[in-house]
Amino acid sequence: MASVSVCQYRPGGFSFENCKRNALLEADINKLGFSSPAARKTGTTICGVVYKDGVVLGADTRATEGMVVADKNCSKIHYISPNIYCCGAGTAADTEMTTQIISSNLELHSLSTGRLPRVTTANRMLKQMLFRYQGYIGAALVLGGVDCNGPHLYSIYPHGSTDKLPYVTMGSGSLAAMAVFEDRYRPNMEEEEAKRLVRDAIAAGIFNDLGSGSNIDLCVITKGNVDYLRPHDMANKKGVREDKVYGRPVTGSYRYKHGTTGVLTKAVTPLNLEVVEESVQTMDTS
């Protein structure tokens, strides 16, 4: 029996039709003078370094929405697997969801193979997903971990390109952090030196980049052990208001002594007011 419906050829791959429509809508809105709501970005300074026994990942903790700080203490170092962690810069939602998706898939993969996952597997999964979305997922990641082949560190860009290097930085504060790395990085550092180097690199981003700020989180991954140090360094602790000044409590007291302001002259003018019109409007409480 002949089939009535005609099968339309569906081109493979992701459909970017909505992205084109969104761009047009954005242009129209801007012409009218309004702006569409800004996605929350994690401005950010993130970095990672390979040292003698493993990797050290570092991140600041500021999340921005345009020019306003949306979160003063957000966590940018995401769990991928017991031996692999990933720092994320770019659009906060994108980094969060992307790392969660890959973490979930990697756990299933790990159960299937019966082995501890490898960093290169996570890298491949992330780059293939980001390439599929052609850069529309704004996630710039620093992926680090230790597996059977030793410590590994990757930087992953939103369009899906990756670099495997001994030290990497990402985010708006990456130039400041990279300056610190290029000055002081040495191969095969000890753990304390590596932690100090990453801490200083993030601090450079925090203090020299407007998109980064607040505290410094560290994650030290070695064979068989992970130290998730959050916070490692509270570089921007909020100040405490002074309680007493000259023995008098400062907070909330606006009482001044008699004679603080000298009175020179005093004149009293009575204002004779007469009611002209009075109207009462009852509230509609139905």
Catalytic positions: 44
Q: Specify whether the CB–CB gap between 77 and 219 falls below 8 A.
A: yes
Find where tokens 């996570």 sit: 122
Nearer to another protein, 101 or 165 (CB): 165
- The Cα–Cα gap between 247 and 85 comes to 52
Smallest gap from residue 89 Cβ to another protein (A): 8
Q: Specify whether the CB–CB gap between 30 and 197 falls below 8 A.
A: no
Q: Which residues bind another protein (CB under 8 A)?
A: 23, 35, 38, 41, 43, 64, 66-67, 124, 127-128, 130-131, 134-136, 138, 140, 155, 157-163, 165, 171-172, 174-175, 210-211
**β-sheet bridge partners, residue 264:** none
Nearer to another protein, 163 or 190 (CB): 163
Nearer to another protein, 117 or 171 (CB): 171
The two tokens of residue 78 are 């995401």
Smallest gap from residue 219 Cβ to another protein (A): 23
Element (DSSP H or E) covering residue 182: helix 174-184
Smallest gap from residue 91 Cβ to another protein (A): 8
Smallest gap from residue 25 Cβ to another protein (A): 13
Q: Specify whether the CB–CB gap between 206 and 58 falls below 8 A.
A: no
Nearer to another protein, 165 or 250 (CB): 165
